[in-house]
Structure 1
Amino acid sequence: MSGAEYLFQRETFAGGDRWLARYVARPILRFVHREVASSALLLVAATAALIWANSPWSDSYFDFWHTQIDLSIGGYHIHPLSLEAFVDDGLMALFFFVVGLEIKRELVTGYLSSVRAATLPAIAAVGGMAVPALAYFAFNPSGEAAAGWGIPTATDIAFAVGVVALLGSRVPPILKVFLLTLAIVDDIGAIAIIAIFYSGDLNLRWLALAVGLIVVVRALALMKVWVLEVYWVVGVVIWYATLESGVHATIAGVVLGLMTPAKPLLDRSAAQEMVDQLPADPQVEQVHQASFLVQESVPLTERLEALLHPFTAFLIVPVFALANAGVPLSVDTLTDAAGSPVTWGVLLGLVVGKPLGIAVFTWVATRFGFELPEGMNWLQLVGMGFAAGIGFTVSIFITRLAFDDGASIAMAKIGILVASGAAGGAALVLLWLSGRRGAHTEVPPEQHQAHEGQAHDDVSAVKRP
């Protein structure tokens, strides 16, 4: 038993022998540390938004999220935003910052750092973006509606991993690793799509300020300035400059996440050696020094993920869903959606295009010498493709960027909601049929280590047979 486990069992309520600890506290803690917890909360928020938007108090829903936030400092007026826009452009920038941290960690020390291991899921991810976009274009080849082609290209990691997690041991660990790798590459593609195709007219002065401050951040990192408060202040200014520049403000979060160091300041063995040299009864200053040594032996990306992931997963993303998932579902609206090319383009792009693109591109790759990871079969791959067809969060986010008129936004959201439910249900059925309870396939050590981060506890907790 490790010292941490001993202290947990002796000193915390959840580690005690009380009935509430054994049957309530510990199960809740295990639940919270799984992605299924965040996806369940996201589902609750989306359901609440739909009920509110279709209740007798529906006007209050739209009035509340359209409330204007107008701040000024002296004679300078801060960029006015509605409450909904503050969630989309402000809070979601922090969400994309965490996404940037995850991508940086995977590129430097994780699964994506191995070209051989990452190639097949990356190819599958490309297919999972290209085919849905083509499916959407088949229904909306021109006009304003064509701008929504990016909507069905996205995957919601929380929902996708949550669906897979519900099946427990029926899904082999290597499939979960494959799905997460695919989803991270999908995130990279979504970020590129937002930056290139969904940014507005550029204001070069604000853009130059944002770029200049990014250079300052890099310089501070090279000078080994480790005071996080400095970076938070500069980061907020970068976010605001990006917002004013015409580039979507969430891109600032991604860039800052990618710039965060993914390797520790101190080697863990060296830090442990220094801690071991502390006296048996250390002074307060020595305890602070030991704390610093231990802290700096963990990469900053991992520390920030551990700090921010619960905040983004359990607060920001559910608030985003509450602000954006509310769609009036009257008979007229549903009739319009049934005949809308936007709705059908999004629906078939996610439900058909995603799994089809992932399966076809993977099959073509196997014709060129690639092999499915040991322990995966083709039915499981297709089931995972349906899980990737749950677009929800990022799909709704792109919808807000693609369309200005409320009618197109409503049609796209209905397509996203129906598609996400259908894709999630199909994934559960196929993965249940293709799996065998208790059939664990050992994940190679380098793949297991790649997913030991806080955001992927459910995937990294792989037991050997």
Structure 2
Amino acid sequence: MLITDYFKKFLNSSQSSGIVLIVCVLISLLVANSSAGAAFQNLLDTKIGTELFHLNYSVSIWINDGLMAIFFLLVGLEIKREIVEGELSSFKSASLPIVAAVGGMVVPGLIYFFFNHGSEYAGGWAIPMATDIAFSLAIISMLGKRAPLSLKIFLAALAIVDDLGAILVIAIFYTDQIEWVYLGLSALMVAILVTFNLLKFTKHIWYIIPGIFLWYFMHHSGIHATIAGVLLALTIPTNISTTEISPLEKMEQKLHLPVNFLIMPIFALANTNILFKEGMVDDLFSNFGYGIIFGLVLGKVIGINLFSYIFIKLKISSLPDQVSWSQMLGAGLLAGIGFTMSIFIALLSFKGHPEIQDEAKFAILIASVISGFAGFSLLKYIGKKREHSED
């Protein structure tokens, strides 16, 4: 199995950043439910920017549309590198995490649809489809040697493919109105970036400047601006050399620290500020709550393992090295930690409905805690059992 050095760094950084994210979630919840909660919300609603270029947005929009585009740039770089030289570089190696990711999106979506079709919550069908890379990898990394490296790589590859799927869902289904002039200008920026790639321009500045314009045009086109990050990433030059560091890998190295320890914590602080209200727990026991919680907790593990089992039986894919089906169940549970991406999709699904957004956030939080605890406990138990059998 091909394991790139950058993939190992990705796993290591995910463990540390996941701990930081947990701390930020707790801080955000405490602030939201303290006397500082109203002031914090006012800060998020404060508009900054200029009307000159139609860039006068609230702090929360700058975070969700601006900073998150940088997050998706890093995700796009991860995807491209793994396609070129890593876990997704061949059909055999890529098939299982791809198939598992598809199953982990389809089944949760169907569960949510079952509970909420025809209701005012129907538009949130994509909420339980997402897997949070940072949290899921942070928890599996905490298991140390009790979780095989191949299982960690499988979960990382699955989460990356899952994020790609979430990106496509956002682009296709969560776009309100297309402004074709701006979309055409976005296409022009992509063409320029591809040309720079074909001409083998390697300095980052050749890609960053058109990338900024791409974000601006994409934001005004009606398609969610975070897509610009992925499109930019796919045009950054890379190679399969193990000795020469490519521009893609250099950018990846530079982005890991700010994304994992600044952008994602800021996103968690800004978007987990759930004000606990009377009756919020009761809302969990509604079709809306069931759709999110059952979708993440049960839908993920069922979809991932069902699709994996079918393709392994058809001999198209194979289990990761030294990984059992019980460990695959544990990985499927960890994939039910939807946190960042699920909240992000919930915000897009219910724009202008803060009460529904808060209900969704709370259900996502509960589901993610259940999935994370269950997955960690199962994998820890299996790991201990294996250690004793080897002794």
Q: Give the TM-score band, short-chain normalised.
A: over 0.9
Could you tell me which of 12, 37, 57 is aligned with 1:81? 57
The answer to whether residue 118 in structure 2 is matched with residue 118 in structure 1 is: no
Could you tell me which of 262, 267, 282 is aligned with 1:315? 262
Work out whether residues 97 and 256 of structure 1, in 8 Å CA contact, stay in contact via their aligned partners in 2: yes
Q: Partners in 2 of 1:234 and 1:342 — Cα distance?
A: 41
Q: Which one-letter code corresponds to 1:333 in the other structure?
A: M
CA offsets 1:232-275 (integer angstroms, 9 cap, x no match): 221111100000000100000011111111217xx677xxxxxx
Q: Partners in 2 of 1:306 and 1:128 — Cα distance?
A: 29
1:436: how far off?
Answer: 4.3
Indicate the SS of the match to 1:112: coil
1:163 maps to 139
Taking a change above 3 Å as real, the CA distance of residues 246 and 330 of structure 1, as seen in their structure-2 partners, is: same
Q: Partners in 2 of 1:381 and 1:268 — Cα distance?
A: 31
CA offsets 1:335-380 (integer angstroms, 9 cap, x no match): 3x23432222111110111011111111222221243233111110
Work out whether residues 350 and 419 of structure 1, in 8 Å CA contact, stay in contact via their aligned partners in 2: yes
The answer to whether residue 27 in structure 2 is matched with residue 66 in structure 1 is: no
Could you tell me which of 129, 132, 137 is aligned with 2:113? 137
Q: Which one-letter code corresponds to 1:385 in the other structure?
A: G
2:370 maps to 422
Q: Partners in 1 of 2:205 and 2:386 — Cα distance?
A: 47
1:183: how far off?
Answer: 1.1
Indicate the SS of the match to 1:216: helix
Q: Partners in 2 of 1:38 and 1:125 — Cα distance?
A: 23
Q: TM-score, with normalisation over the residues of structure 2?
A: 0.92
CA offsets 1:401-455 (integer angstroms, 9 cap, x no match): 111211211111011100110000001111011114896xxxxxxxxxxxxxxxx
1:197: how far off?
Answer: 0.6
Q: Which one-letter code corresponds to 1:345 in the other structure?
A: G
1:325 maps to 272
The answer to whether residue 289 in structure 2 is matched with residue 347 in structure 1 is: no
Q: Which one-letter code corresponds to 2:56 in the other structure?
A: P
Taking a change above 3 Å as real, the CA distance of residues 227 and 376 of structure 1, as seen in their structure-2 partners, is: closer
Work out whether residues 301 and 335 of structure 2, in 8 Å CA contact, stay in contact via their aligned partners in 1: yes
Q: Partners in 1 of 2:284 and 2:211 — Cα distance?
A: 44
Bigger Rg, structure 1 or 2 = 1
Taking a change above 3 Å as real, the CA distance of residues 417 and 268 of structure 1, as seen in their structure-2 partners, is: closer
Moved more, 360-369 or 202-211: 360-369
Indicate the SS of the match to 1:111: coil
Q: Partners in 2 of 1:185 and 1:333 — Cα distance?
A: 33
Q: Partners in 2 of 1:97 and 1:209 — Cα distance?
A: 19
Work out whether residues 171 and 436 of structure 1, in 8 Å CA contact, stay in contact via their aligned partners in 2: no
1:413 maps to 361
Q: Partners in 1 of 2:43 and 2:36 — Cα distance?
A: 11
Q: Partners in 1 of 2:375 and 2:338 — Cα distance?
A: 13
2:348 maps to 401
Could you tell me which of 202, 223, 226 is aligned with 1:250? 226
Q: TM-score, with normalisation over the residues of structure 1?
A: 0.78
Q: Partners in 2 of 1:374 and 1:33 — Cα distance?
A: 20
Q: Partners in 1 of 2:166 and 2:96 — Cα distance?
A: 19
Work out whether residues 77 and 252 of structure 2, in 8 Å CA contact, stay in contact via their aligned partners in 1: yes
Q: Which one-letter code corresponds to 1:89 in the other structure?
A: D
Gaps of 5+ in 2: 1-8
2:21 maps to 42
Gaps of 5+ in 1: 1-29, 270-296, 440-465
The answer to whether residue 153 in structure 2 is matched with residue 177 in structure 1 is: yes
Indicate the SS of the match to 2:318: coil
Indicate the SS of the match to 2:150: helix
Q: Which one-letter code corresponds to 1:99 in the other structure?
A: V
Indicate the SS of the match to 1:401: helix
CA offsets 1:98-138 (integer angstroms, 9 cap, x no match): 00000000111111011011112211111111110011111
Taking a change above 3 Å as real, the CA distance of residues 339 and 429 of structure 1, as seen in their structure-2 partners, is: closer
Could you tell me which of 354, 369, 392 is aligned with 2:339? 392
The answer to whether residue 172 in structure 2 is matched with residue 206 in structure 1 is: no
Indicate the SS of the match to 2:88: helix
Q: Which one-letter code corresponds to 1:353 in the other structure?
A: G
Indicate the SS of the match to 2:178: coil
2:6 maps to none
1:330: how far off?
Answer: 2.2
The answer to whether residue 310 in structure 2 is matched with residue 334 in structure 1 is: no
1:163: how far off?
Answer: 0.6
Taking a change above 3 Å as real, the CA distance of residues 330 and 109 of structure 1, as seen in their structure-2 partners, is: same
Q: Partners in 2 of 1:187 and 1:137 — Cα distance?
A: 20
Q: What percentage of aligned pairs have identical amino acids? A: 40
Q: Partners in 1 of 2:288 and 2:235 — Cα distance?
A: 37
2:308 maps to 362
Indicate the SS of the match to 2:321: coil
**Residues 51-62 of structure 1: pairs in structure 2 closer than 5 A:** 51-62=30-41
1:301 maps to 248
Work out whether residues 199 and 248 of structure 1, in 8 Å CA contact, stay in contact via their aligned partners in 2: yes
Work out whether residues 383 and 431 of structure 1, in 8 Å CA contact, stay in contact via their aligned partners in 2: yes
Work out whether residues 284 and 363 of structure 2, in 8 Å CA contact, stay in contact via their aligned partners in 1: no
Indicate the SS of the match to 2:169: helix
Q: Partners in 1 of 2:45 and 2:363 — Cα distance?
A: 23
Q: Partners in 2 of 1:153 and 1:343 — Cα distance?
A: 14
Indicate the SS of the match to 1:81: strand
Taking a change above 3 Å as real, the CA distance of residues 303 and 234 of structure 1, as seen in their structure-2 partners, is: same
Q: Partners in 2 of 1:247 and 1:233 — Cα distance?
A: 20
Q: Partners in 2 of 1:351 and 1:412 — Cα distance?
A: 15
